[in-house]
Amino acid sequence: MHRAHTAFNLVLSPVAQKNFATWLVKDGSTKVWKNSTILAAIRAYSSAPAEQFASGTSATYVEEMYNSWLRDPTSVHTSWDAYFRSNSYNAPPDFQPVQRNLVPLSSSINALSSGGAIDSKTIEDHLAVQAIIRSYQSRGHLAADLDPLGILRQDTTVSKDGQTRRANEAVLRQHSSFFVGEQDMDRPFKLPSTTFIGGDETTLPLREILNRLENVYCNKVGVEYMFINSLEQCNWIRKRFETPGVMNFSPEQKRLILARLTRATGFEAFLAKKYSSEKRFGLEGGEMLIPAMKEVIDVSTELGVESVIMGMPHRGRLNVLANVCRKPLPQIFTQFAGLEAADDGSGDVKYHLGTYIERLNRITNKNIRLAVVANPSHLEASCPVVQGKTRAEQFYRGDQEGKKVMSLLLHGDAAFCGQGVVYETMHLSDLPDYTTHGTIHVVVNNQIGFTTDPRFSRSSPYCTDVARVVNAPIFHVNADDPEAVVHVSRVAAEWRATFHKDVVIDLVSYRRNGHNEVDEPMFTQPLMYQKIRNHKTCLELYANKLIAEGTVTPEEVKAVADKYDKICEESLELAKQETHIKYKDWLDSPWSGFFEGKDPLKVSPTGVKEETLVHIGNRFSSPPPNAAEFVIHKGLLRVLAARKTMVDERIADWALAEAMAFGSLLKEGIHVRLSGQDVERGTFSHRHHVLHHQLVDKAVYNPLQHLYPDQAPYSVSNSSLSEFAVLGFEHGYSMTNPNALVLWEAQFGDFCNTAQCIIDQFIASGQAKWVRQSGLVCLLPHGMEGMGPEHSSGRLERFLSLCADDPDYFPPESDEFAIRQLHDINMIVANCSTPGNYFHILRRQIAMPFRKPLIVMTPKSLLRHPLARSPFKEMAENSEFRRVIPDEGPAAENADNVRKVLFCTGRVFYDLLKARQDKKMDKDIAIVRVEQISPFPFDLVKEQSNLYKNADLFWVQEEHKNQGAWTYVQPRFLTALNHDKDVGSSTQVTGQRSNDSASDSEHGSKSKPWLSRVFAHEKATAAEGDHKPVDYFDMREVRDMQGNFNKPAGIRDISPKYNFGRKISRCMHYVGRCGLAAPSVGNKTAHNKEILQFLTNIFGQLSELEKELLPPLETVSKKITGFAESTSSIGTKRNTMLPEASSHHLPERKGIPNEVSKN
């Protein structure tokens, strides 16, 4: 039984049925465990899946007991002795019925010894035969003839009958020594129940047994499956490989294989002929991939699959698009022509692009959808993305068992075993909220990774061993045997359809050329490539075989090849007529209808009716409505009561506002999915979306699933402890349907760096490369709160460095400023300070007429901060997301008298607020929050700066200077303050606009203009003999001016010399920590001290705050003294306590982490 579903498959006990409504059960079905104690025990103590009695380990156990009993009946407990004697073993209660062709060994022995005592030699010999059979089943693959090049050929052995066999000592161990010679070979042996090699025969001579086993297990297929814990599954596989004649193909089937192989081979040959020096990462040597995939798709379609979502690396990708997906060949060939794009995007290299095709499967006569997901260079990174997309498609189709939608993942041998994301993805395969109900993996195992031999690229015997962790059967197959390849492909498809679990095909092949077509493989693999040069193509070998056996004639073989060549030639002619390529032709996830008829500059309102907020709030703060027996933890009752009070008072904290954002979207029919580690409760125990019955296992209640009868489904799921795979998965999920809010939350923000590849390669650049949009939301708990170097930073600066808005360009101001910016940006980065604003920005993801990824730095301590609350009116109708929250107190009312304006983002606002209150400076100092950092709100920042015309402007951040938002906001403030577009002209001269940079590929045509601009400029000035300095921003000059760039510069005006001939009217001062390698300070004490330090820099001495923030001064000074002493010698920039820092003037000091500088 599929593990992910086991928990829900027992029927409700009558009592439970009476007491609990169906929605108490997690998946809404009417099933829970009858006996929660048993389940608890399984959960607590067993890592094995909760399987039926007779499958899995218990079956093996019984088998072992039985074997032991055969050897010595006294070796087992008397009850087992009685059981086996009663001959019941072949039909224990839950076992599969014994097949027609199977005869239990017990009955064999009875038959052999009828009427008399069993002689011990007979038993021993039978046991030996059984052990030999088992040896082949377990280890036969070690001796299988898998390598087309024969490099890995194992030594053969000569058996007792003089016959040469592949199974050697490594396979058979000592078991063959039972048989002394030729005479044993003709002795008949009854076959045990664990083999199908007999077919209709129940007894076979030993010689025949060995021959059949050799043929099944040591020929061109190596079947690895005996590690699977389910007896049922093992028997299923045995049957499909052992049954005599199972691999026989009809002439018609053989001709089909030949035709497919011809096309696969012909495609590469055609490209090689026409574009000999172009990189295409051809499939030569592994062409059987194409017939294999086609077989998988044919069989799966026959068994009900309607949509196949594929992920694959570079190798053979174009061939797959052409011959598996049947993407029009002219579209593929235009990719070689170096044409300009007719639509947006920087594009990607041709062997990365995706596609989406709907067509008729000619073999099954059924319609099928095929998608190949675009992938970055980063091998295997697209695996979880494909899984997420598959899962989403299953979800939207209501395909709960994966019968209609499946994923097919292709891998290279080196990448499959080398990349950790494969393991992470495998571990999603059986999780209830992440399973795609079985994936078929095909490894194009060309026995090399670029220039590296397998012995240097993996420690495991096979490149596929990673799949063993999820009990996936692995079929190794020699790619030069087309029929064997097609057979394992068929079995793999049937396996998936039967058990809905992963399966791996290891296509052992070779790479005829270098890593790519312009690479010389003889540099590094001379011997291998000498062999390859003399090795006939698979097509040639197979065609010869079929000609020899009379299935086809040489003329037929040639005719098929010529026909395909003609198709290619005609397509090339069509391609030549194209003048542009269209990236939209390569979209893997078209959102048909989504963009049509939409005003691209109109955001729907994000505020909702107050009554909706109240309704959601009430549901969210209530236990299950009609189950008085549902026992909730006392602590949670308090949480619910507090929520209820908030609803009554019409205010919301973070969790409540989030729930209202989700709930209101659900009401509007928008599916919401939240995923990440421990998100159900929330890392900080603030969310509590799933209430657990304290007495009944798995009885849960999720209020957000029960807000409205016609609401969209809400899914919240704790994920496996992975970031790379899970973020990739959610990204894939978000690609499928624009009308869904998909969120991934990091446990702490900095853990997102283990998923950096997904952020860089997909989230930040997916639209530019693949014209694919995604509205994925990443929630990253962020804030320097003294928790140590880790757990503090969501690495805001990294996301901002990926944002594509030009720092030097102030877009034209208009009513559409905000939406145009959003339209042009690659992703949105925000750091909200209020629950209300968080509510709006989540809803805006769906209200926008397009989709952009959203990165939100979310709070930790603010989750419970009494001031971090929003009145309902800030979420109600006519309210909206505020990119900037201006000061709304006395400072704003009397702006001319304000001396300082503190711009900040996120939680530091509350520190500033408190300090200002403490110093009673509400009239003197204004605090302005930049809530949406990217795209930068140039217009509002300018407006706010203009409001306080007599004030000095500060950017205040709690992060270190080389982190946080500073490096991003600094140049943008400059642009906003001076509204001087000419500053931007510097980048137009020397660089490309940054919205090209996130993904502009070296191969793309976009890289040329800026380069030519540089040279054009130089040429022009040279020609004029004019040596005027180029008008750009030279950081070296600024550094000179400031002395040491890292040192606090103090408040100084920028000299007119550096004004570049223009008047800079105002500038920004930096207040915050200095640059530091680690994102935060080591401990709470140091943290508090640092915070106090830069608050003091702004507000002067803060006695009350100091008392509150710091531990007793005595302890602090002791620690600080010790620290300062121990580090001063190495000149570290650690802080010292500065009691004299008491005015607005900055003390002169060296190496202090808190800086105020002017830029």
Binding site for ligand TPP (CB under 6 A): 315, 377-379, 412-415, 444, 446, 448-450, 511, 515
Work out what residue 1060 binds among Mg ion, ligand TPP, none; the CB cut-off runs from 5 to 8 Å by kind: none
| Least Cβ distance, residue 450 to ligand TPP (angstroms) | 4
The nearest distance, CB 464 to ligand TPP, in angstroms, is 12
3-state DSSP assignment of residue 1073: strand
CA gap 261, 291 in Å, rounded: 6
CB of residue 408 vs ligand TPP: minimum separation in angstroms? 17
For ligand TPP, the closer CB: 418 or 623? 418
| Distance in Å, CB of 824 to Mg ion, minimum | 40
Q: Look at residue 315 and give the partner it binds from ligand TPP, Mg ion, none, a contact being a CB closer than 5 to 8 Å depending on partner kind.
A: ligand TPP
Residue 775 binding target from ligand TPP, Mg ion, none, CB below 5 to 8 Å by type: none
Rounded least distance, CB 415 to Mg ion, Å: 8
- By C-beta, is 381 or 863 nearer to ligand TPP? 381
Burial of 709 (0-12, 13-18, 19+ CB in 10 A): exposed
Nearest approach, Cβ of 337 to ligand TPP (angstroms)? 25
Whichever of 233 and 382 has its CB closer to Mg ion, that residue is 382
Which of the listed partners (ligand TPP, Mg ion, none) does 1086 bind, with a CB threshold of 5 to 8 Å by partner kind?
none
What are 722's two structure tokens?
Answer: 């992975």
CA distance 1156 to 1051: 8
User: If 0-12 CB within 10 Å is exposed, 13-18 middle and 19+ buried, where does residue 386 land?
Assistant: buried
Out of ligand TPP, Mg ion, none, what residue 977 binds, judged by CB under 5 to 8 A for its kind, is none
Q: Which of 38-42's residues contact partners 24+ apart within 8 Å by CB, and which partners?
A: 39/7, 39/697, 39/698, 40/697
Q: 478 or 612: whose CB is closer to Mg ion? A: 478
Nearest-angstrom CA–CA distance, 614 and 924? 38
* Secondary structure element (H or E) that encloses residue 302, with its range: helix 289-302
Length of the chain: 1159
Beta bridge pairs of residue 699: 25
Task: Considering the complex, state which of residue 106 and residue 319 has its C-beta at the smaller distance from ligand TPP.
Answer: 319
Closest approach of Cβ 535 to Mg ion, in Å?
A: 17
The tokens for 450 are 């670029």
Q: Which is nearer to ligand TPP, 415 or 508 (CB)?
A: 415
* Closest to Mg ion by CB, 287 or 413: 413
Nearer to ligand TPP, 406 or 414 (CB): 414
- Minimum CB separation from ligand TPP for residue 55, in Å? 35
Dihedral of CA atoms 180, 186, 190, 195 in degrees, nearest 10, equals 90
Distance CA 86, CA 94 (A): 17
Q: Give the integer Cα–Cα distance in Å for 1050 and 196.
A: 85
Return the one option of Mg ion, ligand TPP, none that residue 594 interacts with (CB less than 5 to 8 A, by type): none
Name beta bridge partners: 781.
858
Instruction: Sort strands 700-701 and 691-692 into parallel, antiparallel or unpaired.
Output: antiparallel
Q: Which does 379 bind (CB under 5 to 8 A by kind): Mg ion, ligand TPP, none?
A: ligand TPP
- Given ligand TPP, Mg ion, none, residue 467, with its beta carbon under 5 to 8 Å by kind, binds none
Structure tokens at 1071: 């207040």
Q: Which is nearer to ligand TPP, 312 or 868 (CB)?
A: 312
Q: Compare residues 220 and 315 and give the one whose CB is closer to ligand TPP.
A: 315
Residue nearest to ligand TPP (CB): 412
Q: Which is nearer to ligand TPP, 515 or 1158 (CB)?
A: 515
Q: Which does 617 bind (CB under 5 to 8 A by kind): ligand TPP, Mg ion, none?
A: none
Please say which residue, 410 or 1068, places its beta carbon nearer to ligand TPP. Answer: 410
- 941, 1068 in Cβ contact below 8 A? no
Among ligand TPP, Mg ion, none, the one that 869 touches (CB under a kind-dependent 5 to 8 A) is none
Chosen from Mg ion, ligand TPP, none, partner binding at 532 (C-beta under 5 to 8 Å by type) = none
Task: Choose the one of Mg ion, ligand TPP, none that binds residue 737, judging by a C-beta under 5 to 8 angstroms depending on kind.
Answer: none
Of 467 and 672, CB closest to ligand TPP: 467
Write down the least CB distance from residue 732 to ligand TPP, Å.
18
Q: Which is nearer to ligand TPP, 379 or 956 (by Cβ)?
A: 379
- Find which of ligand TPP, Mg ion, none residue 415 binds, CB within 5 to 8 Å per kind: ligand TPP
* Residue 911 C-beta: closest distance to Mg ion, Å: 54
Q: Which does 798 bind (CB under 5 to 8 A by kind): Mg ion, ligand TPP, none?
A: none
Instruction: Give 668: exposed, middle or buried? Use CB within 10 Å, 0-12, 13-18, 19+.
Output: middle
378 binds, among ligand TPP, Mg ion, none (CB under 5 to 8 A by kind): ligand TPP
Chain centre to alpha carbon of residue 971: 34
Residue partners of 663: CB distance under 8 A and separation at least 6: 612, 616, 619, 620, 704, 707
Q: What is the dihedral of CA 340, 344, 348, 353, to 10 degrees?
A: -110
Residue 764 binds which of Mg ion, ligand TPP, none (CB < 5-8 A, kind-dependent): none
Choose between 33 and 281: whose C-beta lies nearer to Mg ion.
Answer: 281
Phi, psi values for residue 566, rounded to 5°: -65, -40
To the nearest whole angstrom, how small is the minimum distance from the Cβ of residue 760 to ligand TPP?
Answer: 12
- Min dist. Cβ of residue 286 to ligand TPP (A): 8
Minimal distance in Å, beta carbon 285 to Mg ion? 10
| Shortest spacing between CB 56 and ligand TPP, in angstroms | 33
Instruction: Return the number of the residue (449 or 663) whose C-beta is nearest ligand TPP.
Output: 449
Helix (H) or strand (E) holding 959: none
Cα–Cα distance for residue pair 836/125, rounded to 1 Å: 79
Instruction: Identify whether the C-beta of residue 506 lies closer than 8 Å to the C-beta of residue 292.
Output: no
What are the b/e assignments for 149-180, b being 16+ CB within 10 Å?
beeeebeebebbbeeebbbbeebbeebbebbe
What's the closest the beta carbon of residue 313 comes to ligand TPP, in angstroms?
6
Rounded to whole angstroms, the Cα distance separating 784 from 907 reads 9
Query: Which residues of the chain form contacts with Mg ion (CB under 5 A)?
Result: 412-414, 446, 448-449
- Nearer to ligand TPP by Cβ, of 68 and 451: the residue is 451
Query: CA–CA separation, 26 vs 693, rounded Å?
Result: 11
Within its chain, how far is the Cα of 106 from the centroid? 51
DSSP-assigned letter for residue 514: -
Q: Is the dihedral of CA 199, 204, 210, 211 positive or negative?
A: negative
For residue 521, the partner it binds in ligand TPP, Mg ion, none, with Cβ less than 5 to 8 A by kind, is none
Q: Which helix (H) or strand (E) holds 189?
A: strand 188-190
Bridge partner residues of 203 (DSSP): 190
Q: Cβ 314 to ligand TPP, closest distance in Å? A: 6
The residue ranges of DSSP E strands in 694-764, in sequence order, are 700-701, 714-718, 740-745
Shortest distance, position 411 Cβ to ligand TPP, whole Å: 7
The strands making up 366-372's β-sheet, listed across from edge to edge, are: 221-224, 474-478, 503-508, 439-445, 405-412, 307-311, 366-372, 355-361
